[in-house]
A and B are shown apart, each in its own frame.
Chain A
Amino acid sequence: MKILDIAFKDLTRSFRSVFAIGMMVIAPLMLTGLIYFAFGSVSSGTPSMPAVKVGVLNLDVLPADAPLDVTLGDNVRSMFFDESVASWITASDYADEASARAALNNQEIGIAVIVPQNFTERFLSGDKDVQVLVISDPTLSIGPAVVQNMVTMMVDGVSGGGIALETFMSRQQTNGIAADPTQIPSWIERYTTWYADFQRKLFHHPDQAAFVVVAPSASDTEATKPVQKMMGLTMAGQMIFFAFFTGAYSMMSILREDEEGTLARLFTTPTERTSILTGKFTAVLITVILQGLVLMIAGYYAFGINWGEPSGVALALTGQVIAATGLGVLLIAFVKNSRQGGPVLGGGLTTLGMLGGLFTANMPNAMPAAMNMIANFTPQGWVLKSWRMVMDGQSAVDLLVPFAVMVGMGIVMFVIGALTFRKRFA
């Protein structure tokens, strides 16, 4: 009973400490939050890039004998006014080149697209020098590239259609089939409609496009939510780093009690020293468990992190708690006082965290092979490995090896630390 009384007292003190709460919960959430907001727009799938302002000057006119109902210039123009691009392109018409250039100079628009007067006629006649002019604000980079790409694709598509038509007509002629010239406008219109629809789907609904590229080994989660996974690993790295910090910091309460005189006073009460130490270890254990649960729940609701199957999560979290508590007890057992504890914990745990790969958790392939090997000698490395496996959808059975390593490391460190404490306070 006294063990729980001591643990409860330590927990009460921890949860009243702003510093402790900050390091336990607020810091990992804030760091993950910063990364989340840096990539947040990508992760949500709804880009929040400011809209590209495009001014369109369409001078094109339909030649009298053109086999088309609308000019190619109209097609280019309608591409920028299409509702499917309305969320990221704001288009406006201009009556002449001077007003379009003036709008560009005044930064009312970022890009001006100018279709020359006889664009359709020259294009159909095979004039290779005919050009759609794209003028952009030199301070912009992404927007002009996108607009230029759109115009190029549209023109390439029409060129492709023209080549296809010529080939089709030539083949018909070779085979002695007389082509009906009255059908040509209809073919061109059908092709243009198909091509515009294809491009639209390719950009905005890749899953409905004619060609869908799927990586052979990628799971659905990886294919559809890569950023969520990245956030999950980032959060896991932060959670592990601060779990180890919390384990050690909570254990430092024994040094503070020694300095405050309350540890000596505890020894004057009819309470066995083993019970006092066990009570303090229990408090550390509970603190690290609570911290893990809070961070996981917060990560789920704040960042939409899918931690994985409950059984695997339970194993990974349990291993994390045992390893963090064990390392905390071991480190503090060799620290003389709380003043020395700060630098030792900060330096030691940051170094171990780096070696364990916690700060590159979301890009494991960026680590050299040697570093990945070194990570296997740190408890943090094994905890991270177990979380990666859980988040990759591996089963609890797959986790048994890293779990056993985490528990083994934790117990060995705990026993060494506890024996050192017993000797120290004997």
Chain B
Amino acid sequence: MNAIEVKNLKKSFGDLQAVQDATFNAESGEVLSLLGPNGAGKSTTISMLSGLLAPTGGDASIMGHSVTKEPEAAKASLGVVPQDIALYPDLSARENLVFWGKMYGLRGAALKSRVDEVLEVIGLSDRQRDHVGKFSGGMKRRVNIGAALLHKPAVVIMDEPTVGIDPQSRRHILDNVKELNRQGMTVLYTTHYMEEAAELSHHIAIMDKGRIIAHGTHNKLLKMVGEQTRIDIMLNTEADKILSAWQKIDGVSKIDSLDGKVTALVDDSNRVLPRLFDAAAKADVRITSVDIQEPNLETVFLHLTGRALRD
């Protein structure tokens, strides 16, 4: 059974088409990552799934409940972890969880025991009486996640939950996601960190400019790149000076620059690299570092869009 079904979902804001005919599914018990750069339409998509935004077209369902026709039933099966911390800073961790539990219909002993369990899961039992406003960014993130788990939802949507936190908290959150999935929850995880998507996901949907441009397992997506290799090159000057020359070199299939780093997709790095150096020398551009990478999701994105996956 599909826990999440998205079919031809559309959302427009005036002339801007934020999501265009998005179609993908997530089976029950799997982790599906929605990977894409900022502005790709990931947050708009999950806003429609969680009932925050009404779709302009198409539909989506959570555990068989249409988000447009049965929004309350769909929301009852769903836990949403927003990208930004959405908690009450002047309430304690426990008071926050109790409040959000009540909003999901929990009451009495069931609520109390569930709050205790969640505090244990997020590792904040000993700080439960402290106001959330006094917590570190990582601790807030953990409470932010905990608030979505109180009613044991069948589906959890996590919108970039690791943005801007320390490595230790990030590790804690990734382990939480794995544990939730092990317990049978379906997780829709949006991120622009390809390594997170690779580590967590059974399936990955790559999104760009409002469209789903690829959907499959990690291995299946990597096969789209074939035998190509990614080369990251740093220069002592602006990339514009050399980029057009490098694009014309035989063996370079895609090339893009971002933040001073040039990323190229090449058929055979041993053959292409000397040509890149020759062209740079002719243009009086000095290469300061070269990094040859095995194909990964960033390579896939470059392959599909001709652009580097922006952080």
Contacts and interface: CB of A to CB of B under 8 A. Distances in A.
Contact of A268 (B80, B95, B99, B102): B80
A265 B86 contact: yes
A262 B99 CA distance: 11
B104 interface: yes
B102 A264 contact: no
A261 B88 contact: no
Given A9-B99, A13-B91, A270-B72, A265 B82 contact: yes
Interface string A123-163: 00000000000000000000000000000000000000000
What does DSSP make chain A's interface, helix, strand, loop or mixed?
helix
A268 B91 contact: no
Interface string A10-24: 001100110000000
B148 to A, nearest CB: 9
A13 B75 contact: no
Interface residues of B, number: 27
A9 B88 contact: yes
A271 B103 contact: yes
| B76, B89, B103, most chain A CB atoms within 10 A | B103
Given A2-B102, A5-B102, A267 B84 contact: no
A68 interface: no
Given A9-B99, A12-B95, A267 B51 contact: yes
A260 interface: yes
Interface in B174-209: none
B234 interface: no
A20 to B, nearest CB: 10
Q: What is the predominant secondary structure among interface residues of chain B facing chain A?
A: loop
B296 interface: no
Contacts of A277: none
Contact of B87 (A12, A16, A262, A267): A262
Residue among B51, B99, B147 with the highest chain A CB neighbour number at 10 A: B99
Given A2-B103, A262-B86, A267-B52, A9 B91 contact: yes
B50 interface: yes
A265 B99 CA distance: 12
A268 B78 contact: yes
Contacts of A17: 90
A261 B85 contact: yes
Contacts of A13: 88, 90-91
A381 B269 CA distance: 82
B104 A264 contact: no
Nearest to A260: B86
Interface in A246-288: 260-262, 264-272
18 contacts: A1-B107, A5-B102, A5-B103, A9-B99, A12-B91, A13-B90, A17-B90, A261-B85, A261-B86, A264-B52, A265-B86, A268-B51, A268-B82, A269-B75, A270-B72, A270-B76, A271-B103, A272-B72
Sorted nearest first, the 7 A-B pairs with minimum C-beta distance are: A261-B86, A265-B86, A269-B103, A268-B80, A270-B75, A268-B50, A270-B76
